[in-house]
Amino acid sequence: MACGLSETGEIANLPGVIHLEAKLYRITQIRWVDVPKAAVKSLGAGRMVNAVLHFNDDHDRVTLVPGKRGHYRLAFKVELLRAARVDAGDTISFSLAPDTASREPMLPEEMRKAFQARPILGERWAAESIANKRQVVRYIEEAKSPETRARRCWIFIERLAEVGKLSHPDY
């Protein structure tokens, strides 16, 4: 239940669950709602808040990010909204539950072994943002062949060794 779901996958009656209504709006391709900070106090405090979203009989792990004064901003996946036949301008009802599960991505085997052999690389990896780590792992796992996957792993392992961070110094 660390991710805010009961054994049956429901969040409706769990402690800390909040039920909200908000109007969807669009900024570029993303659909957002504003959520008052006071309304989500039970989910945790901080600049960003992790939660489990329950909307239209679906669940998603989300992060509430800073928004306008006194509010967080919550992005909705377009596929969830399409399934519910709603879009910008519509008012929607949804629930949020605390999400205490780790957001760390599962390391590819090649990277795990490299970090065990060279702990300094593991420390540099740990210093990166979770978003960067997830993006790198996703890029590696999208490889269609084991050779490409290994090559992609080593690109980032070498970058950590040479530069000390995932992003290239020229970016």
Number of Cα atoms under 13 Å in the Cβ half of residue 107: 15
**pLDDT at residue 15 tops 90:** no
Q: What is the pLDDT of residue 95?
A: 95
Q: In the prediction, which pLDDT does 166 show?
A: 82
pLDDT reading at 2 higher than 60: no
Rounded mean pLDDT of the chain?
Answer: 87
Q: For the residues 143-152, what does the mean pLDDT come to?
A: 94
Core vs surface per residue 88-117: b (16+ CB within 10 A) or e: eeeebebbbbbbeeeeeeebbebbeebbee
Mean pLDDT across 14-19:
81
pLDDT band with cut points at 50, 70 and 90 for residue 14: low
pLDDT, mean of residues 14-42: 90
Q: Which strands sit side by side in the sheet containing 30-36, from one edge to the other?
A: 18-23, 91-98, 49-55, 58-66, 71-76, 30-36, 25-27
Please say if the pLDDT value at position 41 is more than 70. Answer: yes
pLDDT for the residue 121: 93
Measured distance CA(76)–CA(22) in Å, rounded: 12
The pLDDT of 142-164, averaged and rounded, is 92
Of the CA atoms within 13 Å of residue 25, those in its CB half-sphere come to: 8
Helix and strand counts by DSSP (H, E) for the chain: 5, 7
Domains observed in the chain: 18-98 (2.40.30.100), 109-163 (no CATH)
Q: Is 70 exceeded by the pLDDT of residue 4?
A: no
pLDDT in tens, 124-133: 999 988 888 9
Task: Calculate mean pLDDT across residues 3-32.
Answer: 75
Q: Say if residue 9's pLDDT is above 60.
A: no
- Residue range 126-154: mean pLDDT, rounded: 91
